[in-house]
Amino acid sequence: MQLLCLLVLFIGFFESQISQATTSWNETYPKGQVTRVKNVDVYTVGSNAYSTNDLSVIVIYDIFGFNISQTRVFCDRFSAQYKVQVAMPDFFRGKTASLHINNLTTVLSVIGNWSQVSSDLSDVASWLKGTSPSHRIALIGFCWGGLQVVRACSNLSTLFFTGISIHGAWLTEDEVRQLQQPMLFIAAGDDPPLKPDISSVIEKWTSPRVANQCQYETYSNMKHGFVSAGANYSNPENVIAIDDVHEKVRNFLDRISRNSASSTHHSMRCFSVFLFLFLLNII
């Protein structure tokens, strides 16, 4: 009930801010294009051809869907500043769940069910690996998308090495206790608290590798949706918060990438030692 009220307020806030925000956000970043991957449209921007970051990013939008300029601006900016390819699939197939706020859960179970989302994520991940020199894929999700990131980092953990949930919705104990990859959780001041609600469950139920690398950030002066569909680029405080989110996400990915590389290197060394001893024993 608390979440439903929050989303109702968010939609009202979004509708009151969209007209003034559309004229004032930063248009300095290269824009992407829509391409078709199997049976889903994907907004893709940037390239990893000259990037030093060995990763690509899939963005999962909020309940407002595919054609929201603020969400695409996030993709454009992140791609340009972090020098990675960013892809945002249209999971809802041109629809939006925000028009059905009184029946939101039912609508999402149809146009945004996990079976379809997981299939789309797998297809887009395969496409990225086939078109990009990068080997690893991270996820960033907003609101409803934040929940899908949690599910992907639990059930598709061999495809994605980390995820970021930004003002994620429907994050329950049962969902986060299944995490197999570390995540960054970002909340607004009116979102359900991350600590201890989410953090304590992750610390109790997930592996030390996951729990010790998870990070929790709350922007107390911001409202739900402040980075994506609710972003108001004519509000200086909102712009400062968005700037900080971009920096925190980049720093988190850098840290997880270093840890992942170090872990892989350690595993390779252990395997080499084991192989050497095995062969020595045979000889």
Q: What is the pLDDT along the chain (283 residues), one digit of tens a residue?
A: 445 445 544 555 454 455 455 445 656 799 999 999 999 999 999 987 767 778 999 999 999 999 999 999 999 999 999 999 999 999 999 998 877 667 788 888 888 899 999 999 999 999 999 887 778 999 999 999 999 999 999 999 999 999 999 999 999 999 999 999 999 999 999 999 999 989 999 999 999 999 999 999 999 999 999 999 999 999 999 999 999 999 999 999 999 999 875 554 444 454 454 555 556 666 6
Whole-number pLDDT of residue 133: 77
Question: Which CATH code is given to the segment(s) 2-282?
Answer: 3.40.50.1820
Q: Any idea what the Cα angle at residue 142 is, between residues 139 and 146, rounded to 5°? A: 60
Q: DSSP 3-state assignment of 219?
A: strand
Whole-number pLDDT of residue 50: 65
Closest-CA residue to 212 (of 188, 170, 179): 179
Measured in Å, how far apart are the chain's first and last C-alpha atoms? 69
The 10 Å CB-count burial string (b at 16+, else e) for 214-251 is bbbebbeebbbbbbbbbbbbebeebbebbeebbebbee
The 10 Å CB-count burial string (b at 16+, else e) for 177-200 is eebbbbbbbbbbebbbebeeebbe
Closest-CA residue to 179 (of 197, 146, 156, 200): 156
Pick left, alpha or beta for residue 117 (phi over 0 → left; psi -120 to 50 → alpha; otherwise beta).
alpha
Whole-number pLDDT of residue 8: 47
Whole-number pLDDT of residue 28: 76
Whole-number pLDDT of residue 181: 98
Whole-number pLDDT of residue 22: 45
Whole-number pLDDT of residue 262: 55
Whole-number pLDDT of residue 219: 98
Whole-number pLDDT of residue 275: 53
